[in-house]
Amino acid sequence: MTTYKPIGPGSAERTNTEVHLGDYEASLQPIPEAARTRKVSGQFWIWAGANLAPINWVLGALGIHLGLGLADTILVLVLGNLIGMLLFGCFVLLGQKTGATAMVQSRAAFGRRGNYIPAGMQALLVIGWCAVNTWVILDLVMALLGMLGWVDPDAPNYAWKISVAAAIMGAQVAIAWFGYKAIAAFERWTVPPTLVILVIMSAVAWLGLKIDWAYAGPSGQILEGSERIAAMSAVMTAIGIGWGITWFTYAADYSRFVSISVPGRKVYLASVLGQFIPVVWLGILGASLATNSGEIDPGKLIVQNFGALAIPVLFMVLHGPIATNILNIYSFSVTTQALDIQISRRKLNVFVGALSFVAVVFFIFQDDFASVLDSWLVGLVAWVAAWSGVMLVHFFWLEKKWPRGTDRLFAAPGSNRLPSVNWAGITSLVLGVFATWLFMYGLVPQMQGPIATALGGWDLSWLAGGLTSAASYALLGRRAHQRSDIDSHRIEELKVQQN
């Protein structure tokens, strides 16, 4: 007979001979060891599925679209994602060790109520990503319908697009509705055949199409010197390191289901490789196809380059963005609950689907999707890089023996087990975001910081933001952490005296 006491809104003590995972997903609470899995392959399939998406063709083609040569684009993709994914693995380990979601862990660094700031920003992030990925599916479907002659490919087709988007969003919400086990099963069964199709696509593209492997940039506009470095830094922020950074806030939401008895290195490698392989592979594929036509639109990339193979390819790659968005929808639900909004996870799934659909409609009416996408990605790096700097310092330096009292992260608001607001974390986050903006050079003027402009367009925003927040928290957070330790010891002493 094993007794578990769920912690969270609406929870009550239960006594069971078997732990049901669904009971622990309904509201925020640590996942008990008895409800976790020892299989690490699930982490590989989840992250591979999330990144086997046409959005990564667009990211690869974006480098070519913004004026880089193919070699430079590949260098940015490989090096940037290598750095980003290696750091991503650290956040995966946090989830496994604590059994808590990313935004619950964040309470340790920002305070019980102070954490509402990063949790609110993360909730907005997943809505945007869900919309972007659904738009990519929509574009692929419309390209297919145009090939079949069902729609006029030269017409706006707004009614068709909105209707198809609604149907796709409904499918994504339905899968996420059933929780982690359904998500893991979906990825496990759909990723392997999708990889097979990707191999065939790559073989056809690289062996049968006119890929310009020596492509160095637009004719007569080849970038050199400082301009070349500036373009590479901007693309790295959007599609290299920046892409890996955007996953930091998701990592723990899924690794918390892995048993702590599984060696950390196995969980780390499975998750990192699951991210790195498909992102780089698809990015290189998209970039190489773009040298053929200069096109960034994912639907046109397929139609123009694969001809008769487009139909089976289009059907298979529909899986990719759906696999990504079920993570977005699920993470939105647990992130929103971290705001102390006592609504069931499934109701929140439906809510985010509706909000994301509204955002999809916005993207449908945007003419220059490349600019919209770049602005969105670059903007995300600002807060995620700053948040990650604080979190890495807190858990891997200040709390060297983490997790330290994991259950305190689930204490109710107002509890003396956590400070209401950790001003060291909040201040460090703000300073990091500001530093990110100073060194940022996006496509729109509002995202072109003065230092990046003075450097001729060099974008080092991810580095400036992460280092600034980390350094700030290393100085300010240490004192706050020491005070928290003293308060915790006093509370424990009082409990002993009362007993």
The strand pairing partners of 16, in sequence order, are: 2
Check residue 327 and give its pLDDT: 94
Q: How far apart are CA 306 and CA 300, in angstroms?
A: 10
Check residue 90 and give its pLDDT: 94
Report the range of poorest mean pLDDT among 10-24, 230-244, 283-297, 469-483.
Answer: 10-24
Q: Which segments within 87-151 are labelled E, that is strand?
A: none
Check residue 31 and give its pLDDT: 87
**Which amino acid does the sequence have at 419?**
P
Using CB atoms within 10 Å of the CB of residue 13, give its burial: 0 to 12 exposed, 13 to 18 middle, 19+ buried.
exposed
Nearest partner of 377 among 444, 463, 285, 301, judged by Cα:
444
Using CB atoms within 10 Å of the CB of residue 493, give its burial: 0 to 12 exposed, 13 to 18 middle, 19+ buried.
exposed
Report the range of poorest mean pLDDT among 285-294, 321-330, 409-418.
Answer: 285-294
pLDDT for residue 283 is more than 80: yes
**Residue 233 near residue 460 (C-beta atoms within 8 A):** yes
Band the pLDDT of 207: cuts 50, 70, 90.
Answer: confident
Q: What is the residue extent of each domain of the chain?
A: 1-35, 40-366, 379-405+415-499
CB 117: neighbour CB atoms within 10 A? 19
Q: How far apart are CA 54 and CA 46, in angstroms?
A: 16
Q: How far apart are CA 347 and CA 339, in angstroms?
A: 15
Place of tokens 């976790």: 36
pLDDT for residue 435 is more than 90: yes
Maximum alpha-carbon separation in the chain: 81
Chain segment 245-265, per-residue pLDDT in tens: 889 999 999 999 999 999 999
Band the pLDDT of 2: cuts 50, 70, 90.
Answer: very low
Check residue 376 and give its pLDDT: 62
**Residue 85 near residue 304 (C-beta atoms within 8 A):** no
**Domain spanning 40-366, CATH class:** mainly alpha
Check residue 499 and give its pLDDT: 53
Check residue 420 and give its pLDDT: 92
- Phi and psi at 222, nearest 5°, equal -70, 130
Check residue 6 and give its pLDDT: 38
Chain segment 445-484, per-residue pLDDT in tens: 777 889 988 988 888 888 899 999 999 999 998 776 655 5
**Residue 82 near residue 326 (C-beta atoms within 8 A):** no
Nearest partner of 321 among 360, 354, 347, judged by Cα:
360
**Residue 157 near residue 142 (C-beta atoms within 8 A):** yes
Q: How far apart are CA 189 and CA 179, in angstroms?
A: 16
**C-alpha distances out from residue 6 to 19, 162, 286, 403, 405, Å:** 11, 42, 46, 18, 15
